[in-house]
Amino acid sequence: METINHLLEVVVGYVWNIPLVILLIGSGILFSSLLGLIQVKGFMHAIQVIRGKFDHAGDPGDISHFQALTTALSATVGLGNIAGVAVAIKAGGPGATFWMIVAGLVGMATKYAECSLSVMYRRVDENGHVHGGPMHYIVRGLGEKWRPLAVFFAFACIASSFGASNMFQTNNVAAILNTYFDIPVFATGVALSVAVGLVILGGIKRIGMVTSFLVPFMGIGYVVGSLVVICMHLDHLPGLFAQIFNDAFTGTAAAGGFAGVAVKEVLVQGVRRACFSNEAGLGSAPIAHAAAAT
């Protein structure tokens, strides 16, 4: 196991480095420019879409716009935001949160582009079910010669869904329940497997139905909990903001419980955790949005 972990650390260290950071941030800036800051000017339109203003009976698709949104958000709200931010701060210092915010802001345009392409190039089968995602718009948009890339993405997405999503979140839940309530890790794993299996076996419609009920509570709980913590430490906010902005561009000194971290590592950790938290550029969210009835 130690050998596998070491190998993974080497691979992650090689892949998750400055070139990929430049690609993610650069593509976000490019799409923001080409789309005229769609994350700002399209905000009210997005609210109207979520509220169902553009839902029409008979439109091809399996779930509503709101259900598509909650299905995509179900993988990011919660441990991706909570544990991901904590890991970013631990590995990259307070300054990593600044780059998480930057990556999140420009990443909105990237996510808009990939989700729009997924809807544009989706396929409706003979039963009326829609199929979409990067593996579809790579082939249908770029041409048949790009099929190997589409196949590679599909396999990479499957591997990521197990390792970076399911295993990570299940491990966190199991560890917390075991630490504070002495619930066996195995029992938590079995219970979560059964619960998730019952939902997934029902197809995208059941997934959309369940997430449309759970995710709003998850989101509200996350925001309210964050605001409560902030209000409890209002007197520390000025100093925290100063430390975040300072460390974002100068690195983190080996003090205050943080290991010394160079600016490069602060940037890499911030963008890495932002990508895991908001999934912009990963290609998983477009699969859910492709199923929206529109």
Task: Kindly give the residue spans of alpha helices, DSSP state H, lying in 121-262.
Answer: 134-142, 147-160, 168-181, 185-200, 203-232, 237-250
Give pLDDT, residue 79: 61
Mean pLDDT for the stretch of residues 253-263: 54
- Average pLDDT value for residue range 247-260: 60
Q: How confident is the model at residue 147 (pLDDT cuts 50, 70, 90)?
A: very high
Residue 218 is predicted with a pLDDT of 86
Q: How many domains does the chain have?
A: 1
Domain residue limits at 39: 2-289
Residue 52 lies inside a defined structural domain of this protein: yes
Assigned domain for 79 exists: yes
- Asked, for residue 63, whether it belongs to a domain, the answer is yes
The pLDDT of residue 244 is 87
Residue 82 within any structural domain of the chain? yes
The set of residues, in sequence order, having a beta carbon less than 8 Å from that of 112 and lying 6+ positions away, is 31, 35, 38, 39, 42
* Percent of the chain at pLDDT exceeding 90: 16
Does 256 map to a domain?
yes
Tokens of 206: 């059941």
Tell whether 294 is covered by a domain: no
Please state, in angstroms and rounded to a whole number, the distance separating the CA atoms of residues 41 and 46: 10
Give a yes or no: residue 179 inside a domain: yes
In the block, residue with structure tokens 């789309």: 35
Main-chain phi, psi angles of 130, to 5 degrees: -100, 150
Question: What per-residue confidence (pLDDT) applies to 252?
Answer: 63
Give me the pLDDT at residue 293, please.
80
Check residue 31 and give its pLDDT: 93
Averaged pLDDT of the chain: 83
Residue 21 pLDDT > 90: no
Which of the two residues, 281 and 32, has the higher pLDDT score?
32
- Total-model pTM: 0.83
Rg of the chain over CA atoms, in angstroms? 20
Average pLDDT over residues 245-263: 64
